[in-house]
Chain A
Amino acid sequence: GEDVEQSLFLSVREGDSSVINCTYTDSSSTYLYWYKQEPGAGLQLLTYIFSNMDMKQDQRLTVLLNKKDKHLSLRIADTQTGDSAIYFCAETYRGYSSASKIIFGSGTRLSIRP
């Protein structure tokens, strides 16, 4: 079955880069995502990458996709206290019906040290 795995915690110093890693199992995924959840809030889409891309950059965010290893990473440059949140890796999965569902990892809680 489909599965998305990521580590539960990451602590970085303010101003350093954060790298959050994720592995997934469904090689037919169309999109891979990073969602952000701040305390007490719902999930917000941070960025996504189409499965035929290797890299996507958006300001401080860089997403790298290694399809061969089924590995996705999110790099946040110059990490700030406002980046403290839980980051969820997710993939689309198309099951036996024509509908696609989104499968999430366990989430990585990013904490920032002064």
Chain B
Amino acid sequence: DVKVTQSSRYLVKRTGEKVFLECVQDMDHENMFWYRQDPGLGLRLIYFSYDVKMKEKGDIPEGYSVSREKKERFSLILESASTNQTSMYLCASSTVGPEAFFGQGTRLTVV
């Protein structure tokens, strides 16, 4: 079974903190994605990566950065967390073929 693991299910951080969200996949997938999910807005793509050290901006990259130093790990970084970044964050991975596999999500609250 493909497994995509996000390091935390729930996080509470203070405004201005630097926040790291970690995602690990165990299927040697080339592609990895970070989305945020907000009610009524669906999933919006923040960043994705198609290879180690390669990244592309998605639709809403502002306020975020990413790191992919190893194939299995894709990190999302909030340089200075703000309350409007309170959301559910979903990581996914994929390879050739149609399916993307999702992690369980990290619900981040910024206070």
B-contacting residues of A (Cβ < 8 Å)? 4, 8, 30-31, 33, 41-45, 48, 50, 88, 92, 95, 97-107
Contacts and interface: CB of A to CB of B under 8 A. Distances in A.
B87 to A, nearest CB: 14
B102 interface: yes
Contacts of A8: 40
Given A50-B98, A88-B43, 17 more contacts: A30-B98, A33-B98, A42-B103, A42-B104, A42-B105, A43-B43, A43-B92, A44-B102, A45-B99, A48-B98, A97-B56, A99-B54, A101-B45, A101-B58, A102-B45, A104-B42, A106-B42
Interface in B43-90: 43-45, 48, 50, 54, 56, 58, 90
Nearest to B42: A106
A48 B103 contact: no
6 contacts: A42-B105, A50-B98, A101-B33, A103-B45, A104-B35, A106-B41
Main secondary structure of the interface of B (DSSP, over half): strand
A92 B45 CA distance: 12
Contacts of B27: none
A99 B29 CA distance: 13
A97 B55 CA distance: 10
Given A43-B90, A97-B56, A99-B31, A104 B43 contact: yes
Contacts of B12: none
A47 B98 CA distance: 10
Contacts of B45: 101-103
A42 B35 contact: no
Nearest to A100: B31
